[in-house]
Amino acid sequence: MKPPETKVYKRRWVILLLFVGVVVFNAVPWMQYSVLADVVSTYYGVSNEMIEWTILSYNVAAMMLIVPAAFILDKYGLRPSVLSGALLTAAGLWLHVLGCWPQHWWAVLAGQAVIAIAYNFLCTASLRVAAVWFPADEASSAVCGFLIGSMGGVSIGCFLASRTARASWTQEENFEGFLTLNMSLAVAATIMLVAVFFLFQQAPPLPPSPAQAAATVAASSGHGHFFKSLRSILKHPSFILLIICFNLMYSAYTAFLTVLNRDIMEFFPERISETGYIATLLSLLGMAATMIIGIILDKTKKFKELSLITYFGALTSIVMYSICIATTSMEVLYVVVGIMGMFMSGYFVTGYEMAVELTYPEPEGNPTSILKWFVQPCSMVAALAYSRLFAAWGPHVAHGFLVVLLAAGFLAQLCIPKRYRRLEAELALSEAAASGGGRRGGEPLIRRPES
């Protein structure tokens, strides 16, 4: 039988650019208020715990909506999902404009909630963009687009927040700073929404790779039933291990960033205004590491090896941070946090790619949605526990908590087997095509692997 027809389109870069642009605007507000916790607390008259909910709102929204968002992606495809993400992001940023007035803290929280809802549509679509538009040797790099956009948005938000308001400024000066930043973001996000509406396409006419062609056939033949797919994914023991590993890494990452402002205030109170710059450095170096890891994955397909390297690096760097913050200078801390950002962020791209490899031929958005759903309650509990340990027992006990999380995750990562189903299918289909097709009449392109 004739092998599936494939084609790679240049337009894929336009699609990726539009998607990354939406992700950037969605990520900017994530730490916008928490890195200015000392300023925001005074300006709005709210507690540090209330400010932490500007980050934790993402967790709550994902717990409730990540699976429905994945269902919409599975049923209606990429364009409705990305368009929904762009629309809700713009709406949330306009609510932030309303929240610039000190008496409108409720609008800040409402805006964060709407933007957090938008994140679910974008997160579940990230792997689908890579699979639907990009060939196998570019898929990992395309997945990096989502992570780079997310970290780039966080770094932009942290950097601009640090230049928007200061504890030494007057109430009027801080109001002008908040208004200028949020109005600019809202207008730019609205322009991005218009661009997505007119330029973002659902899918190319032909799939970019044999594996994607086979997955499309499997979905159209009934294998892609959403809830059946979720049940099938959760029967993979190796995927359950990946959930644990990804959970622990993401929990440590979220907890660290949620309380970063208080950490710096504890040891370097005279340089508290640099919290945003530290978070920016973490995100920027994380972006660079993500891009490098993605390219290496595309070239080598060494998923487990790279996941172990990045996990061990993250564990080592959090130990270094725990020691250095109390014993060295702020300059050394910048270096250590940069290293931490590289390894932690570098792990995420390997985690997402391993999720697809371990569960192929299930639709790419489904393992992603399961990963993200499980991490939300766990990372929220971890962040709250870290915050309470910090307040009750001090920073050293809290830092030890993060070390324990990453040590347990590294041990679990060691146990994940090297079974890459998508790569195996890609190689088998390529060999079949090279030999003039090796399937018998009526035999499917791929078989659903046994759990």
**pLDDT given at position 73:** 86
Asked if 291 contacts 140 with a C-beta cutoff of 8 angstroms, the reply is no
**Domains detected in the chain:** 8-207 (1.20.1250.20), 229-430 (1.20.1250.20)
Asked if 207 contacts 381 with a C-beta cutoff of 8 angstroms, the reply is no
Tokens of 382: 């971890």
Tokens of 97: 């404009």
Tokens of 122: 């974008």
**pLDDT given at position 220:** 57
Asked if 23 contacts 146 with a C-beta cutoff of 8 angstroms, the reply is yes
**pLDDT given at position 421:** 76
- Per-residue pLDDT band for 287 (boundaries 50, 70, 90) equals confident
Q: Which tens digit of pLDDT belongs to each residue from 318-347? A: 999 999 888 878 889 899 999 999 999 899
Tokens of 265: 């205030």
- pLDDT(247) > 80: yes
- pLDDT(72) > 50: yes
- pLDDT(423) > 70: yes
Closest residue by Cα to residue 15 from 200, 209, 203: 200
Closest residue by Cα to residue 367 from 246, 271, 190, 261: 246
| CA diameter of the chain | 77
Asked if 61 contacts 372 with a C-beta cutoff of 8 angstroms, the reply is no
**pLDDT given at position 43:** 93
Lowest mean pLDDT among 219-233, 235-249, 252-266, 351-365: 219-233
Average pLDDT, the chain: 85
Lowest mean pLDDT among 196-200, 259-263, 308-312, 381-385: 259-263
- pLDDT(450) > 60: no
**pLDDT given at position 447:** 46
Q: Which tens digit of pLDDT belongs to each residue from 257-268? A: 888 888 888 888
**pLDDT given at position 232:** 82
Q: Which tens digit of pLDDT belongs to each residue from 101-131? A: 999 999 999 999 999 999 989 988 887 888 8
**pLDDT given at position 448:** 46
Residue 250: HSE in the Cβ half-sphere, 13 Å Cα cutoff: 25
Closest residue by Cα to residue 204 from 430, 437, 432, 5: 5
- pLDDT(420) > 50: yes
Lowest mean pLDDT among 87-91, 193-197, 248-252, 275-279: 275-279
End-to-end CA distance of the chain: 28
Helices in 200-329 by DSSP H: which ranges? 210-218, 226-233, 237-258, 260-267, 275-300, 303-327
Helices in 28-103 by DSSP H: which ranges? 37-44, 48-76, 78-98
Asked if 20 contacts 287 with a C-beta cutoff of 8 angstroms, the reply is no
Task: Look at 98 and 143; give whichever has higher pLDDT.
Answer: 98
CA 223 from chain center: how many Å?
Answer: 27
Tokens of 64: 């409730």
- Per-residue pLDDT band for 173 (boundaries 50, 70, 90) equals very high
Closest residue by Cα to residue 95 from 80, 81, 107, 113: 107
Asked if 379 contacts 255 with a C-beta cutoff of 8 angstroms, the reply is yes
- pLDDT(414) > 90: yes
- Per-residue pLDDT band for 2 (boundaries 50, 70, 90) equals low
CA dist list (Å): 184 to 150, 172, 431: 19, 18, 52
CA–CA gap between residue 109 and residue 95 (Å, rounded): 9
- Per-residue pLDDT band for 89 (boundaries 50, 70, 90) equals very high
Helices in 105-234 by DSSP H: which ranges? 105-133, 139-164, 171-199, 210-218, 226-233
Going by the DSSP 8-state scheme, the letter that residue 3 receives in this structure is P
**pLDDT given at position 446:** 46
Instruction: State the DSSP string of 354-401.
Output: HHHHHHTTS-THHHHHHHHHHHHHHHHHHHHHHHHHHHHH-HHHHHHH
- Residues with Cβ < 8 Å from 377, sequence gap 6 or more? 59, 63
Task: Look at 347 and 140; give whichever has higher pLDDT.
Answer: 347
CA–CA gap between residue 113 and residue 55 (Å, rounded): 10
- Residues with Cβ < 8 Å from 331, sequence gap 6 or more? none
- pLDDT(436) > 70: no
- pLDDT(445) > 60: no
Positive or negative, the Cα torsion across 410, 416, 421, 427? Answer: positive
Residue with tokens 């899918």: 203
- pLDDT(451) > 50: no
Percent of the chain at pLDDT > 70 equals 91
- pLDDT(293) > 60: yes
- Per-residue pLDDT band for 432 (boundaries 50, 70, 90) equals low
- Per-residue pLDDT band for 205 (boundaries 50, 70, 90) equals confident
CA–CA gap between residue 42 and residue 62 (Å, rounded): 29
- pLDDT(221) > 60: no
- pLDDT(63) > 80: no
CA–CA gap between residue 120 and residue 61 (Å, rounded): 8
Query: In terms of pTM, does the model score above 0.85?
Result: no
CA 288 from chain center: how many Å?
Answer: 15
- pLDDT(315) > 90: yes
**pLDDT given at position 200:** 95
Mapping DSSP to helix (H, G, I), strand (E, B) and coil, where does residue 274 land?
Answer: helix
Closest residue by Cα to residue 115 from 38, 182, 35: 182
Task: Look at 422 and 231; give whichever has higher pLDDT.
Answer: 231
Q: Convert 333-358 to b/e letters by CB count within 10 Å (16 or more is b).
A: beebbbbbbbbbbbbbbbbbbbbbbb
